[in-house]
Structure 1
């Protein structure tokens, strides 16, 4: 169910536009032996978060992050990882507790403003930015330059109308027809309306056809890890 099989010719995310230089500076590209796999979010000089399914089965020694570049595979600054900590309750079956903390081998001084964490609490509401390097339509190619799209967050009861009990309090949903995350955006941030706080981590979405995600299809919202459910855990890792 994770966003793992698509992308586009120019922009990332569905219905969005390329982010401006310096916008969402805490957004990282996560690389496995130099190959892009997911997005991530810097939350401290040498600490980041991503989706657990992005790093499940991988070792820290295989992984690096790229910062301070709109291009996920060139430019900016790279740093190796020293530790990957997957949430102890993570389930690869239903993507429950889909969050991991990444410890960097050293700081990323190029990023002046890491993302803020929200207070521990319930899922957020209102509008947010989905930020990623993935596809802007089903079946495209990725990674692409960092892009953004503004989406409306929706209540979990409304999201459960689409996905049932698979949507838990540890998740928050968003998106609209023609707007949202797509394949290759996994692990990237869902930022608050001012772009300073990381409210969610791009986790999964509906499958339109085998091997293809819906990416902004009506009635099939994105599902993000609700960061505020895990703030205390993140701070203690």
Structure 2
């Protein structure tokens, strides 16, 4: 599906990943009420939670490409307004279309960004709303607020029941890339790094929001372990020009 000439949005197809979901990468966080993060949604595949996402409108959510590729939309249920994953009586929606960039690279996680359009928009409430797009400076030291239902310690591959949040500082991208080179993992130019060993995203937080000044500025992508001081978490950078073009075109659908 060609959009605006230079950017292609691709419908979901099957794919094999070179990074395991255990590496994808909240540790060191605290329980957060959904009313303070009403934009975050959980995504389940055949009834099993597997990724998080962020509403950018009441009908459009942004997540990681690796949460989109290979997952048939008929199997996905998106849930909003829940602090606890097991809450009942809250809003749920099916997905009508899902997309990821043609330039997405599953091996390097270049352009690890995806979008899902819901069949029916969510109804806005105190517990359900969307995040504004990023317009904030993402300088080194800026605090990124990360939320999710992912594992709270490295080595675990199970989610937690209650939503967790932690704030992590953005770190120098080149220094981060140099450190990751020691374990033969590159850092894509469409990414940013955040964390210093005092908190991190972890398994099953993938696709979730990184918030600055109330705006969606990053998406959880991957990491080497969880909360390791020398290996910050890696996030897709929503201030990157190529990522911004994808998001703009996706929201126009």
Q: TM-score range by the shorter chain?
A: 0.7 to 0.9
Q: Output the CA distance in 1 between the equivalents of 2:144 and 2:207.
A: 16
2:53 to 40, 44, 51: 40
Residue number in structure 1 paired with 2:9: none
Q: TM-score, length-normalised on structure 1?
A: 0.86
CA deviations 1:31-73 (Å, max 9, x no partner) are 1121101000000010001001112111211111110001234
Residue number in structure 1 paired with 2:66: 53
Q: Give the aligned length.
A: 221
Q: TM-score, length-normalised on structure 2?
A: 0.81
Residue number in structure 2 paired with 1:63: 76
* CA drift at 1:146: 1.0
SS in structure 2 at match of 1:22: helix
CA distance 1:42–1:124, change in 2 (3 Å): farther
Q: Output the CA distance in 1 between the equivalents of 2:20 and 2:169.
A: 19
Q: Output the CA distance in 2 between the equivalents of 1:62 and 1:122.
A: 37
Alignment of structure 1 residues 126-141 onto 2, 5 Å: 126-141=142-157
Residue number in structure 2 paired with 1:92: 106
Residue number in structure 2 paired with 1:101: 115
* CA drift at 1:137: 0.6
**Structure 2 residues without counterparts, runs of 5 or longer:** 1-17
1:169 aligned onto 2:180: no
Contact 1:72 1:143 in 2 (8 A): no
RMSD of aligned residue pairs (Cα, Å): 2.0
CA deviations 1:61-106 (Å, max 9, x no partner) are 1111110001234332110000000111111111111010110011
SS in structure 2 at match of 1:173: strand
Contact 1:117 1:228 in 2 (8 A): no
Residue number in structure 2 paired with 1:226: 237
Residue number in structure 2 paired with 1:191: 211
Q: Output the CA distance in 1 between the equivalents of 2:216 and 2:44.
A: 21
1:142 aligned onto 2:153: no
Residue number in structure 1 paired with 2:3: none
Computing the radius of gyration from Cα coordinates, the structure with the larger value is 2
Q: Output the CA distance in 1 between the equivalents of 2:69 and 2:172.
A: 28
CA distance 1:2–1:115, change in 2 (3 Å): farther
